[in-house]
Amino acid sequence: MPNTSLRDLLKPVRDPDPAHGAPWPRRARAVWIGRRRYAPIHDLQKQLVEARAEGRMGDTILLLEHDPVITLGPRANPENVLLDARALNERDIDLVATGRGGDVTYHGPGQLVCYPLLDLRPDRCDVRRYVRSLAEVMILLAREHHVEGGVVDGMIGVWVDRAAPQEWGGPEWAREIAKVGAIGVRLSRWLTMHGFALNIAVDLRAFELIVPCGIREHGVTSLHELTGRKLTVAEVALASAPQLARGLDMEIPPVEDLSGVADLAGALLAPEAGAGEGRSAL
């Protein structure tokens, strides 16, 4: 098999515009919605995916940070949660079963969570390719902050060399690989839910409460730990349109700040929010 780069794997094949013989533009709206509890946003995702399926909303990307929560995928091993529900409740950490792929994951303040709600039809119906595109976004975001990362065969997510965070030649050259970004997705009818979580300045002690993604032999890190720079999730999210656009190969205008909006569904489904722009993904 030829040595194919991640960038080559992500090149799209687009349907031509029959009127002009040019590709349809792929466009998504990206919004920063601030810090939110997990369960209401999970419900919001399901509502928005249905709206996307019905053409009442265009492709949309939610950017946020969660209040502390441990989530379990459908096939997660409960033993990878190292505290019982009562102990977690005493620490004000939610425990939620969810429909995404993967095992056990922690989300919390200081972590950028990205939920792309996209219709992959007709030209991007490839799960592996979509997952690689999410990894590429995280790699590009880390690079903006002088951290080089990459993917590791058999271990989903984005990894770095904790001993040399400004270099990445692959796991075979790394001295101490550590996970900086996790991926867990769900696709139904080629509509996407869930996404990725990139550790910006999250409290890494929280990962001691779980076996992250079922992987015991490697640690978890953050951009803050690797660089010493104090970054907020908001500043990374609000500046992320170029990396989202390049990684997902879509047109993405500057990220909108909806962090102060209470009725997110109303704001995202309002006619002026882009209902009917679904043509860009058809």
Residues with catalytic annotation?
A: 213
Q: How many CB atoms lie within 10 A of CB 176?
A: 12
Alpha-carbon 59 to chain mean position: 15
What residues form DSSP beta bridges with 150? 159
In whole angstroms, give the CA distance from residue 24 to residue 173. 41
**Parallel, antiparallel or unpaired: strands 111-117 and 60-66:** antiparallel
In whole angstroms, give the CA distance from residue 106 to residue 270. 32
Would you state the torsion angle of the CA atoms of residues 184, 240, 127, 58, taken in this order, to the nearest 10 degrees?
110
96: tokens are 């939620």
What residues form DSSP beta bridges with 112? 198
Contact 181, 158 (CB under 8 A): yes
Amino acid identity, residue 121? Answer: R
